Chains A and B, each alone.
Chain A
Amino acid sequence: MTAIAGRDPRGQGPGDDGSARPSAAGFPALLEDNLEDLYENAPCGSLSTLLDGTIAKINGTLLAWLGYSREELVGRRRFSDLLTGGGRIYHETHFAPMLAMQGEIGGVSLELRAKNGSRMPVLVTSVVKAGSEGQPPLIRTAIFDARMRRAYEQELLNARRAAEREDERLRQLISKLQRSLLPAVLQTPPGLDSAAYYRMASTDEVGGDFYDLFPLDDDRWGFFLGDVSGKGVEAAAVTALARYTLRAAAVYNPDPATALRSLNTVLWQEYREDARYCTVVFGILTPTPATGGFTAVIASGGHPEPLLLRADGSVHYQQTKGRIVGAFSTSQYTNTTVVANPGDTLLLYSDGLTEARPASSETADGRYGTAALARFAAQLAPTNAADAITAVTDLLGTFGAGLTDDTAVMAISAPARP
């Protein structure tokens, strides 16, 4: 518009250098002075409708694409009538509501249906023009031929679908591998309760945490919860080795310190070149039906200390000592005994929990920390295995993106006296 209404302040005529070149203002006006033609034969379809979609004005380009005459459309048909069935639903359920909310919408991919039934992929942009004196509000729509672009997008779409299929296959594989490293169903010693939860930090990689609870003989059960350094397939191999070494060692000699020493030897021999090691708490549990509780002899190899949540509401960390398993050629481990009475709960966890970075943390390094965990546990106690795991699961949920590592938790409790 300005090209027509504007006036060159220097006046029309020859340029400053005296040549006969048209002025800046006159130049475009001379070449494109027929606005009607510009509208009618623009390189894009143009359409104005009432708010209910009734066609008020349509340009020649769009009529030519559709094969309709102006009389067949203006005042008689709505924009959505020009779309394919699927496009009509998309228009009603997405396009129109967004246009109503935002007043404009751009670059939506739809298909026109021409009078002869042929289809034409288009990109549609609409703007609501507010009403003015005696003029109702209108929707102005520009429609671009997207046949070539659609063909290109189809290629992209096919590539994306192929990538998604591969991705899904990978996830399935990882999830299966992960499950194979954890007990399918957690067994529970007679007269006691148990529960566990595993949270993968990423669906793209196998995590390195592991746990199990399994019967050894009529009165004794083995249990462990550990964390292998690193992630991915290499870590999974170490996890499998650690898991089966511990299970076998427990059968051979049900002494936790000895089992960890065996695991240390195996990991050191197998992986010292690759610096693969793990932290783990290993225990042998004996239910004590006479008291309604259990006794657990445990040993730890550099793993976060287990928490005991007592029936009287008190909470303390069970002190353990022992070096990371697999990091040194020889390491000594020490047994310690936990006596659990009715209403007591033993909670094992991996450092994914204490090393998480919650949105608000009181520690200097932004980690959740063992002090916060103890306070959290104090609010739970007295509790039981199932409730404790549910509470920790919810707690992990509140960490959101602050949960950067895999986390395993397992609880064993003696039922409270009625």
Chain B
Amino acid sequence: MRVRNRNNVVLAGREDGPTVVLAHGFGCDQHMWRHVAAEIGQWAQVVLFDHVGSGKADPAAWDADRYASLDGYADDVLAICDDLDLRQPVFVGHSVSSSIGVLAANREPDRFSALVLVTPSPCYIDDGNYRGGFTRDDIDELLESLDSNYLGWSSNMAPLIMGNPERPELGEELTASFCRTDPAMAQVFARATFLSDNRADLAAVSVPTLILQCAQDAIAPPEVGAFVHAQIAGSRLVTLDATGHCPQLSAPEATAAEITSFIRAAYR
């Protein structure tokens, strides 16, 4: 029960279907998956959660040392699987959660039946011939951005952001919490996300892997998707006709369809 509260674990979809764990990336929370979860939930049991430090995860579980490294988040993923007694689920990770999934899968190679890496990047910073798309200065700027937007995201602001009358289904509570991470926690998660180099972990992946990238992604350029594809033996690379870093928002149907057909093939 503690793990479920800690990570605000939510179960959805069909109880009798195969299990798909959806892990959100840096920035917002499990609601990033709301469209895709609805699609996949028609045939799968969907497990959603918030990383500690994001969304409605228990703030008391925050530990700046533990969550300074992606290993801390990977530990949590495995603990969630243990707690729910998940048998060979598919792990779908967006952005940094791709790397978190890779770490978890390498630690327990029999844990997941398959990995889906959505707009992954094992290393965001350029390094020699490798082009991650960013420099160390860019990342420092981001950390600065997180801090300066603290004023905008402060608690004073929350009451002003009422539910959107045109989208009553979202509710006030959700819009008040979505993407509104405590800036100190966001700083730590941002450092773990954008300063980690997990390129060397890719080759150890031994489960069937689908890589989903967007044709136009301001964060993970196509070369990075190709790099991940080349490093993971037998992986499949699909480029979605979508823009941005979050195809689960910009092209949810296509994203869900690719995940579905990949898993169907894997389970056949």
Interface residues of A (CB under 8 A from B): 51-54, 78, 80-81, 84-94, 96-98, 100-104, 107-111, 150, 153, 156-157
A102 with B142: CB separation less than 8 A: no
A96 touches B246 (CB 8 A): yes
Chain A contacts of B25 at CB under 8 A?
93
Given A85-B138, A102-B161: A52 and B250 within 8 A (CB)?
yes
- Contact A107-B32, Cβ < 8 Å, known A86-B139, A94-B27, A102-B175: no
Q: A97-B249, A98-B179, A102-B175 are in contact. Are A90 and B137 (CB under 8 A)?
A: no
What residues make up the interface of B, taking CB atoms closer than 8 Å to A? 25-28, 31-32, 95, 134-135, 137-152, 161, 164, 166-167, 170, 174-175, 178-179, 194, 216, 218-219, 243-246, 249-250
Q: Are B164 and A103 in contact (CB under 8 A)?
A: yes
Q: How many A-B contacts are there with CB distance less than 8 Å?
A: 118
A84 and B141 form a contact (CB under 8 A) = yes
In the complex, which residues of chain B have a beta carbon less than 8 angstroms from the beta carbon of A157?
147-148, 150-151
Cα distance, A222 to B86, chains bound together (Å): 49
Distance from B56 Cβ to chain A, minimum over Cβ atoms (Å):
15
Please list 6 pairs of residues, one from A and one from B, whose beta carbons are closer than 8 Å in the complex, sorted by A's number: A80-B218, A85-B142, A89-B134, A102-B164, A103-B166, A109-B152
- Inside 8 A of B135's CB, which chain A residues have their CB? 85
For the complex, what is the distance from the CA of A80 to the CA of B140, rounded to whole Å?
Answer: 18
Given A88-B219, A101-B31: A96 touches B249 (CB 8 Å cut-off): yes
Question: Which of B145, B150, B175, B179 has a CB less than 8 Å from the CB of A86?
Answer: B145
Instruction: Give the top 9 A-B pairs by smallest Cβ distance, nearest first.
Output: A86-B141, A85-B138, A93-B27, A86-B142, A52-B243, A92-B245, A90-B145, A80-B218, A109-B148
Q: Which residue of B lies closest to A121 (CB)?
A: B148
Shortest CB distance B123–A (Å): 14
A53 touches B139 (CB 8 A): no
Contact call A90/B219, Cβ cutoff below 8 A: no
Q: Closest B residue to A51 by CB, please name it.
A: B250
- Find chain A residues with CB under 8 A from B144 CB: 86
Query: When the two chains form the complex, which single residue of A88, A100, A101, A102 contacts B218, counting CB atoms closer than 8 Å?
Result: A88
- Please determine whether B148 and A97 come into contact, CB atoms closer than 8 angstroms: no
Task: Establish whether residues A53 and B167, one from each chain, have CB atoms under 8 Å apart when the complex forms.
Answer: no
A351 to B150, CA, bound (A): 39
Choice from B28, B166, B174, B219 contacting A94 with Cβ under 8 Å: B28
CB-CB < 8 A to A85: which residues of B?
134-135, 137-139, 141-142
Which one of B143, B145, B170, B219 contacts A102 once the chains associate, using CB atoms below 8 Å? B170
Closest to B28 in A: A97
Judge whether B170 and A109 touch: CB under 8 Å.
no
Interface centre among A87, A89, A104 (most CB of B within 10 A): A89
CB distance from A417 to the nearest CB of B (A): 31
Tell which of A101, A107, A156 touches B178, judged by Cβ atoms closer than 8 Å: A101
Not counting A93-B28, A98-B28, a sample of 9 additional A-B residue pairs whose C-beta atoms are within 8 angstroms of each other reads A85-B134, A85-B142, A86-B144, A88-B138, A91-B218, A96-B249, A103-B164, A107-B152, A111-B141
How far does the alpha carbon of A54 sit from the alpha carbon of B142 in the complex, in Å? 23
Contact between B164 and A53, CB atoms less than 8 A apart: no
Is the pair A109, B145 in contact by a Cβ cutoff of 8 Å?
yes
A85→B28 CA distance, assembly (Å): 19
Most buried by A among B31, B164, B194, B218: B218
- Which residue of the partner chain, among A92, A94, A101, A110, contacts B244 with CB atoms under 8 Å? A92
B160: nearest residue on chain A (CB-CB)?
A: A106
Chain B nearest CB, measured from A100 CB (Å): 5
Identity of the chain B residue whose Cβ is nearest the Cβ of A98 in the assembled complex: B179
Contact in complex: B141, A104 (CB < 8 Å):
no
